[in-house]
Amino acid sequence: MALIPEPHPAPPADAGQGVWGSQPIYSRADDVAFARIAAAASIAADAAGWTNASAHLDHYLGNSGKLLTINADAVLRDVPAADSEANGLAATELRRITAEAAAGQLYGSPVQFQSHWLGFYIDKNSSEDWFFAMGGPSRAW
């Protein structure tokens, strides 16, 4: 039986994102004012129904350095274009591995597969909540 492959490494971080804890203490004076404004924005986002945007901003403001887990099912449910894109990617990968399995006569044997990381942009018209929460996430199968 084929082993399940290890997941690909995480996609690269956004170019504007620094390593957590890398900002020197002397350069943080403007962070206090920003944090106050961002905290108010988080409350306003939650009141507007942008619960994911609010949660993501709260995670950022919490400054834990931990990864934020995204509920992919919720994104696919709330953003039809993301769901269509994900289904298209899955269909493409399934056709590819089916052709490879048939060519190798691997009938009756499990076949493993993974796609590479690909970007997708959630525009404001698709979902204001997820637009403000993530904007341009990466996904893979």
Domain boundary among 16, 43, 68: 68
Residues 75 and 123 in one domain: yes
Token pair in block for residue 83: 């769901």
Q: Determine how β-strand 138-139 pairs with β-strand 118-119.
A: antiparallel
Q: Which residues pair with 125 in a beta bridge?
A: none
Residue 115 is predicted with a pLDDT of 79
The model's confidence at residue 61, banded by pLDDT at 50, 70 and 90, is confident
Instruction: Give the number of domains in the chain.
Output: 2
The span from the CA of 72 to the CA of 92, in Å, is: 19
Is the model's pLDDT at 103 over the cut of 80?
A: yes
Residue 2 is predicted with a pLDDT of 58
The span from the CA of 23 to the CA of 67, in Å, is: 18
Domain boundary among 20, 45, 68: 68
CB atoms within 10 A of CB 79: 22
Percent of the chain with pLDDT over 70: 96
Residues 48 and 75 in one domain: no
Residue 86 is assigned to a structural domain of this protein: yes
Q: Which range (13-27, 49-63, 75-89, 121-135) has the least confidence?
A: 13-27
The span from the CA of 85 to the CA of 127, in Å, is: 15
User: Under a CB-based contact definition with an 8 Å cutoff, are residues 133 and 52 in contact?
Assistant: yes
Q: Which residues pair with 119 in a beta bridge?
A: 138
User: Strand ranges (DSSP E) for the chain?
Assistant: 118-119, 138-139
